[in-house]
Structure 1
Amino acid sequence: MDGSGASARDPEAAVASGASSVADASDSALLAKMGYKQELKRQYSTPQVFAIAFSIMGLVPSIASTVTFSLPAGPVGMVWGWFTASIFIFLVGLAMSDLASAMPTAGGLYWWTHYFAGPKWKNPLSFLIGYSNTLGLIGGVCSVDYTLALMIISCVNIAQDDGWSPSRGIIYALYVALILIHGLSAAFTGRLMPRIQTCCIFINVALVIATVIALPVGKVTRGESLNSGKYVFGHLDNETTWPTGWAFMLSWLAPIWSIGSFDSCVHMSEEALHAGKAVPLGIMFSAGSACVLGFLVLTVMAATMNQDVAHTINSKFGQPMAQIYYDALGKNGALGFMIVLCIIQYLIGLSLLVAASRQAWAFSRDGALPFSTFFRHVSKRIQYQPVRMICGLVVACLILGLLCLINNAAANALFSLFVASNYLSWGTPIFCRIIWGQGRFRPGEFYTGRFSKPIACIAVVYLMFGVILSMFPTGGPNPAPTDMNYTVVINGFVWIGCMLYYFFFARHWYTGPLMTVEDPSGDSDTTPRDGANVNQQDTPVNFKEE
């Protein structure tokens, strides 16, 4: 079903502007050059593509979720750790934007890997990246909803002011309820989703402004002075047993986790209008705004928090951000802000589940996931949504969430799966382009020009470092079992298991992305791309719109 056909049957789409119709036709043609027919409904404008990544980042809730990574290094770790890491993350976004503009498809990361990699590496690397990206996004949904469950509990604690500590069973029950609600919302709000994403921009920006204003005003109103600029920008603490310099490097984990979803723009490529322009702009704007606004929020937090960093880290509310709000605004103010944080955190989970479902759907379209024939179905009755895949992801999240029943270290594995798997997925196609694909790359509407290759090289080095960094225990060397960072175990199991599955089984049937465009006779072709395969041609294909 092509996009124009879907629009003709949709009364709302029928009144779309002429410019949108032209963009839709050109997008379908560009997608066909990559071997795919249009199956999803194109309805996301450029601001809405940006919105889905910006919504997933959800700056203030994400900062609240990850400030425990940067607080041990004090204000310098919070402020400068965020700023330095986010600059490198922005460069990764630029490198990804070059590829996304030239070849916009929902399964972009594994598709690009297959296109650029050397002949012997195409299939195994593409298979690895497809699984790594899919499982990383599932881990992201799990970690967002687990954090949301903890945020809701912290609201109860603030309201009751009694330091109630729920059992892990209660936490998991709340987590299950949130996952199920997210699944229903993602499946049945497809028509409204672009508008929801637009609203998310205003809600997130409003929360940033409210936080930046309310924290210092509340602090001064309560008769307390703000922390000095010397303290905010120059005080380096160390609440770990690592050397101070490494404690600062570990503070990078906060922005690494928070600014970790701009690839969602790539996964929405087949629903974006004028994707060759909208997707790269969405990536750049989301990564750039996170850098600037996050730096602003953290600066204000450092100026208003208790100078006893350990007091904030070990908050009785279970959330350092809740303690910062409480110290500056009192009980009612803290409760009000935490409730808003919970609402936005819910929207983060919803947007992330939508993006994850598109990546997993694209991977099943190419026959790589178990039961791909079942999961690749797109529901025409429910607004052209991959409903079966959404249901599959919900089940996967419920199973992975069982980790939170063990201990905090096991629950943190959900975070590590998101970070390390995504960083591997981002870095591999960029690396393949540098090593094997320079002669095959043809720029799209967005291109960084002569800086493209240097940016790509810096991005790959940074992403390799980010994967290694994510595997360190944050408290210090020689951790106890409850403090251990199990990233290397969880991701090692995923990566090694994926490769064993490929070499023993999948290599016999997985041959890379399939072609689903209709041939001139009208028959749908779902064969591998060999012979005239666009990915195997000696002559590079120019995917740029004519």
Structure 2
Amino acid sequence: MSVSGSAHRRSVAQEPVTSVLPGGDVPFDPTHEFDADEEVLAALGYKSEFKREFSLFTTFCVSFAVLGLLPSFASTLYYGMGYAGTAGMTWGWIVAMIGIQCVACSMAELCSSMPTSGGLYYASAVLAPPGWGPFAAWITGWSNWLAQVTAAPSVNYGISAMILAAASIQNPDYIPTNYQTFLLTVFIMIIHAVMSSLPTKWLAQINSGGSTFNFIALIVVIILIPAGTDRPERGLPRFAPSSEVWGTIYEGTAFPPGISVLMSFIGVIWTMSGYDSPFHLAEECSNANVASPRAIVLTSATGGLFGWFLQLVVAYTVVDIDTVLESDLGQPFAAYLMQCMPQKTVLAILSLTIIAGFSMGQGCMIAASRVTFAYARDDCFPGSRWWKQVNPTTLTPVNAVWFNCVIGILCLLLIFGGELAVGALFSIGAIAAFVAFTTPIFIRVFFVGNRFRAGPWNLGRYSIPIGTVASAFVILMVPILCFPSVRGADLTPDVMNWTALVYGGPMLIVTLWWFVSARKWFKGPKVNIDHMMLGQDANVLEGKAAGKERGEEGSEDAELPDVKRVASTDKVVQVGS
């Protein structure tokens, strides 16, 4: 991995991206001098609309808050522990993280080359073969949006379940109802929507505090569980033997042990799916084509390491997996804590987890609103003219925030369908995010190859191998994530895996929408140039020489043009000082 660049100011035409603005469509005041971030964004075809008040640290804070290791782990313990037991939580986590880290590094490389809030959607459009860009953007965009819009409701559902489980611990006679869970989750959603409508500077500060608390709470819990366990008082050793923890695969599915371990990866994938947030916040981050990719990799690496530590302490202290999964508390993490901790310690850990989860839901709401704004800017949604508006007071996409909030509340109606139905929110978050993350990586590896124009943060010669591993991991995991836990005669509607239907249904609809209608009017990201993704090679000017003269890393791509023009004019303008 390397960071390269020159000390002198460059023109827009010299930015390491695939295109620049033509002379007639330059969207800026000629008296205004572009800074480095504005030049990069202009080279991608966009006018800067947000204040750049996020730094590497504050971007990482939002991303780490979205990752939310502690509440994410607590919300998905049913899958990680329930499918493969402690083996899936220990060495299974390590195997999964190899693939996830490859995805994160490849995504970071794309982010450095194309630091726009459109993120993966924009990258798919740019990198796809001529004529296929709009379709690639359409599929990537909708899959990513499904992951983003279901993130906050799934997180907040998990937090609501923990709050009500804590109430049940305090008063064993109290049994939460679906109606109470729904109302509490909706209340949290509304609070997050109000908070996410604040100005960018306030959001950065709030998320810095929330992420700091998230990290501190994670460390406290990792230390508190092994230190405070009362297993010895219950006639058990303080920790389970390593041979049992690492070597025993719990028979939580009807599939062979190896498949069960792979199925348990849903917990890892959902927990680790927030590292794309810096990509979507790139237009609000200073030094975005370096800081944003660094935040992506830092989030994934930090989350993977500390998440594994959390998995270990739980795996070594759990008493009875069956009891955890079947507890009347309705929340496996709370049931696990009750097995090995005094009640006051249980409530303390749940309190830390709930507060951290609240911060996580807030981060999810922010990231989702930026994705919705970016896609609405390109008229992907019905009513896009409202969702793409930036509030003149807060300078944030407030309409997009509330649009997502309403959709999220509608998704929460799945609560009344039972535990497996609402569990589809977690499944969508895993599979939809993975498909969106890897589509542009797959295109970059197998269709663009060495012609890719890298940004200042790049993987160098390891780019193709790492991207290949990332693509292979996702191709393997997508069908695995759709497997039910039982099969044969035992497979009935109430125990089936609804992922294929809940994710595949909407994606089938948007695919049909594409072929019936959208292909006629949707042309991908709306930039102010005749973009490469449209395959309009007739509009490309002689640009090869400029890339060779620069001699910058990533500019060996002699076939990608540096400058484009509108067909009606031969004038080419370089923007900047």
TM over 0.5: yes
Partner of residue 61, structure 2: 51
Q: Which amino acid aligns with 2:215?
A: V
Residue 156 (structure 2) pairs with residue 145 (structure 1): yes
- 2:389 aligned residue (377, 391, 403): 377
Choose which of 395, 403, 416 in structure 1 pairs with 2:414.
403
Post-superposition offset of 1:439 = 5.1
Counterparts in 2 of 1:468-487, with a 5 A limit?
A: 468-475=479-486, 478-487=490-499
Question: Cα deviation per residue 1:62-101 (whole Å; 9 max; x = unaligned)?
Answer: 1111111121322111111111101210010011111111
2:95 alignment partner in structure 1: 84
- What is the match of residue 19 of structure 2? none
Query: Could you say which residue in structure 2 is the equivalent of 1:294?
Result: 307
The answer to whether the 8 Å contact 1:82/1:254 transfers is no
* Counterpart mapping for 1:290-369 below 5 A: 290-306=303-319, 308-369=320-381
Q: Determine if the alignment matches structure 1 residue 27 to structure 2 residue 47.
A: no
Fraction of identical pairs, as percent: 28
Counterpart-to-counterpart distance in 2, 1:113 and 1:539: 18
Contact 1:115 1:122 in 2 (8 A): yes
The answer to whether the 8 A contact 1:93-1:262 is kept is yes
Which residue type is aligned with residue 360 of structure 2? I
Q: CA deviation at 1:211?
A: 1.4
Please state whether the residue corresponding to 2:52 is helix, strand or coil. Answer: coil
Are 1:94 and 2:114 matched, yes or no? no
Residue 266 (structure 1) aligns with? 279
Q: Deviation at 1:515?
A: 2.1
Q: Distance in 2 between matches of 1:88 and 1:207?
A: 27
Q: By how many angstroms is 1:222 displaced?
A: 5.7
> Which of 197, 211, 216 lines up with 2:221 in the alignment?
211
Following the alignment from structure 1 to structure 2, what is the Cα–Cα distance between the partners of residues 358 and 435? 29
In the other structure, the counterpart of 2:568 is none
Residues 116 and 440 of structure 1 are in contact (CA less than 8 Å); yes or no, is this contact kept in structure 2? no
Amino acid at match of 2:99: F
Q: Which has more radius of gyration?
A: 2
Q: Distance in 2 between matches of 1:220 and 1:169?
A: 35
Distance 1:408 1:327, change over 3 A: closer
Partner of 1:110: 121
C-alpha displacement of 1:475: 4.7
C-alpha separation in 1, matches of 2:409 and 2:214: 28
Cα contact 1:85–1:252 (8 A) shared by 2: yes
**Deviations along 1:305-360, whole A, 9 cap, x unmatched?**
21x22122222322222123223331111111111211111111110110011011
- Equivalent position of 2:242 in the other structure: 229
Q: Could you tell me whether the CA contact under 8 Å between 1:440 and 1:541 is conserved in 2? A: no
The runs of 5 or more residues in structure 2 that have no matched partner are 1-32, 545-557, 564-575
Of 419, 439, 442, the residue aligned with 2:430 is: 419
CA distance in 1, matches of 2:198, 2:481: 36
Q: Is the 8 A contact 1:106 1:362 kept in 2?
A: yes
1:540 and 2:563 correspond: no
Instruction: Letter of the 1:26 partner, please give it.
Output: A
The Cα shift of 1:424 comes to 1.1
Q: State the shift of 1:191 in Å.
A: 2.6
Rounded Cα–Cα distance in structure 1 between residues aligned with 2:561 and 2:188: 45
- Summarize deviations over 1:258-285 as a string: whole Å, max 9, x none: 0011111110010111011111111111
CA shift, 1:152, in A, is: 1.2
Tell whether the 8 Å contact from 2:71 to 2:159 is kept in structure 1 after alignment. Answer: no
Residues 471-524 of structure 1: CA deviation (Å, up to 9, x unaligned): 11135554221211111111211211111112222222111111259xxxxxxx
The equivalent residue for 1:496 is 508
- Contact kept in structure 2, 1:113 and 1:126, CA below 8 Å: yes
Amino acid aligned to 1:292: L
Change (3 A) 1:43 1:542: farther
- Give aligned pairs, total: 511
Q: Which amino acid aligns with 1:290?
A: G
Say which is worse superposed, 27-36 or 214-223, in terms of deviation.
Answer: 214-223
Could you list the per-position Cα deviations for residues 453-485 of structure 1 after superposition, in whole angstroms to 9, with x for gaps in the alignment?
011111111112221121111355542212111
Secondary structure of 2:200's aligned partner: coil
Q: Which amino acid aligns with 2:560?
A: P
Is the alpha carbon distance of 1:444 and 1:227 closer, same or farther for their aligned partners in structure 2, counting shifts above 3 Å? same
> Where does residue 431 of structure 1 map in the other structure?
442
Q: Which amino acid aligns with 2:361?
A: G
Contact 1:111 1:126 (C-alpha < 8 Å) held by counterparts: yes
Whether the 8 Å contact between 1:40 and 1:385 is mirrored in structure 2 is yes
Letter in 1 for 2:317: T
374 and 239 in structure 1: CA distance in 2 versus 1, 3 angstrom threshold: closer
Mapped to 1, the partners of 2:209 and 2:535 lie a distance apart of 41
Equivalent position amino acid for 2:482 in 1: M
Query: Alpha-carbon deviation of 1:165?
Result: 2.8
- The yes-or-no answer on 1:135 pairing with 2:155 is no
The separation in 2 between residues aligned to 1:373 and 1:38, in whole angstroms, is 18
Alpha carbons 2:70, 2:357 under 8 Å: kept: no
Moved over 6 A (4+): none
Alpha-carbon distance in structure 1 between the residues aligned to 2:428 and 2:86: 27
Asked whether the 8 Å contact 1:442–1:541 carries over to 2, the reply is: no
Contact 2:80-2:88 within 8 A present in 1 as well: yes
Gapped regions of structure 1 (runs ≥ 5): 1-22, 518-524
The 1-side partners of 2:81 and 2:231 are apart by: 25
Relative to structure 1, the CA distance from residue 173 to residue 533 in structure 2 (aligned partners, 3 Å threshold; closer, same or farther) is: farther
The change in CA–CA distance for 1:201 and 1:173 in structure 2 (over 3 A counts) is closer
- Give the stretch that moved more between structures: 167-176 or 129-138: 167-176
The normalised TM-score by structure 1 is 0.88
Q: Which stretch shifts more, 214-223 or 412-421? A: 214-223
- The counterpart of 1:123, out of the listed 134, 153, 172, is 134
- Cα distance in 2 for partners of 1:24, 1:89 equals 36
Conserved 8 A contact 1:439-1:540 = no
3-state SS in 2 of match to 1:203: helix
* RMSD of equivalent CA atoms: 2.5
Q: CA deviation at 1:533?
A: 7.8
Q: Aligned partners of 1:261 and 1:476: how far apart in 2?
A: 32
Post-superposition CA distance 1:429-462 (Å, at most 9, x none)? 1111123223541111111111100111111111
Q: Matches of 1:268 and 1:456 in 2, distance apart?
A: 23
